């Protein structure tokens, strides 16, 4: 249970009114309680608990970031009160359908949403397996900019977020380069076969290399005279 004492302990504040950021992960919390005592809260992480409902969050009207990943959330009723919310992480929960996400339509400041996640330790919500999930979500939440770490504009350009072949380069750009032998030619590496570089350009580069060598020798001489080495 999220007690006032635990809130003060985890936040390091003696007064709940002063709490702006609260990280209460892996605390075995099943129910969201006492957060109405933190009206100024801006960031809240309750990842890796056993929270099933967000009903206790409705008073956090200033909250901007909310992490509820790795919980048991199956309903979002009550989250529509978080009018300032910009970032929401719901990875590895029990979101089963698009209907469950409907309350997010009231969050006009929401820009970033995580539902699927990545890695072997993270299981996607079942809603992510819905047909044309990304398209439906874009229509439902036009204010959203990033989904699971990807730009929705990029996903829209792809047409189908699961069809990566649409972004694959053509075959002519994926063929390996033919091996080519190289030979040392007067301080320059030039191809032994094929068209030769412009002679005037080569001469200019050779002269520049020689000038650099002279400057390096002068620097070494100056260093030796100065430091006696």
Q: Report the length, in residues, of the chain.
A: 229
> Using 50, 70 and 90 to split pLDDT, how confident is the model at 226?
low
- Output the pLDDT for position 174: 45
Least confident of 15-19, 34-38, 41-45, 184-188: 184-188
Cite the DSSP H helix spans in the chain: 4-11, 133-140, 152-158, 199-227
Tell me whether strands 188-191 and 182-185 are parallel, antiparallel or unpaired: antiparallel
- Output the pLDDT for position 203: 73
pLDDT tens per residue, range 182-203: 444 444 445 555 555 566 667 7
What are the structure tokens assigned to 64, written together?
């901007």
Select from 3.30.70.2740, 3.30.830.10, 3.80.10.10, 3.30.300.10 the CATH code of 4-164: 3.80.10.10
How is the beta sheet containing 112-114 ordered, strand by strand?
A: 21-23, 43-45, 65-67, 87-89, 112-114, 146-147, 150-151
pLDDT tens per residue, range 64-92: 999 999 999 999 999 999 999 999 999 99
Number of neighbouring beta carbons within 10 Å of residue 145 = 13
pLDDT above 90 as % of the chain: 57
The β-bridge partners of 114 are 89
> Using 50, 70 and 90 to split pLDDT, how confident is the model at 219?
confident
pLDDT above 70 as % of the chain: 76
- Output the pLDDT for position 182: 42
Who has greater pLDDT, 120 or 4? 4
Degrees, nearest 5: CA angle 176-182-188? 125
């Amino acid at each position: 249970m999220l007690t006032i004492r635990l809130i003060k302990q985890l936040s390091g504040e003696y007064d709940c009114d002063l709490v702006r950021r609260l990280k209460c992960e892996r605390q075995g919390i099943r129910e969201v309680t006492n957060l109405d005592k933190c009206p100024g809260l801006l960031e809240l992480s309750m990842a890796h608990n056993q929270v099933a409902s967000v009903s206790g969050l409705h008073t956090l009207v200033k909250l901007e970031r909310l992490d509820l990943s790795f919980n048991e959330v199956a309903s979002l009723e009550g989250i529509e009160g978080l009018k300032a919310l910009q970032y929401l992480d719901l990875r590895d929960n029990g979101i089963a359908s698009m209907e469950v996400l409907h309350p997010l339509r009231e969050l006009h400041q929401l820009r970033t949403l995580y539902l699927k996640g990545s890695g072997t330790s993270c299981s996607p919500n079942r809603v992510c397996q819905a047909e044309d999930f990304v398209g439906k979500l874009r229509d439902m939440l036009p204010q959203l900019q990033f989904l699971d770490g990807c730009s929705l504009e990029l996903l829209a350009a792809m047409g189908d977020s699961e069809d990566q072949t649409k972004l694959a380069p053509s075959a002519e750009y994926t063929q390996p380069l033919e091996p080519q032998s190289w030979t040392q030619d007067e301080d320059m590496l030039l191809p032994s076969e094929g068209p030769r570089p412009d002679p005037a350009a080569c001469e200019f580069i050779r002269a520049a290399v020689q000038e650099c060598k002279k400057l390096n020798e002068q620097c070494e001489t100056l260093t030796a005279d100065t430091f006696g080495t």
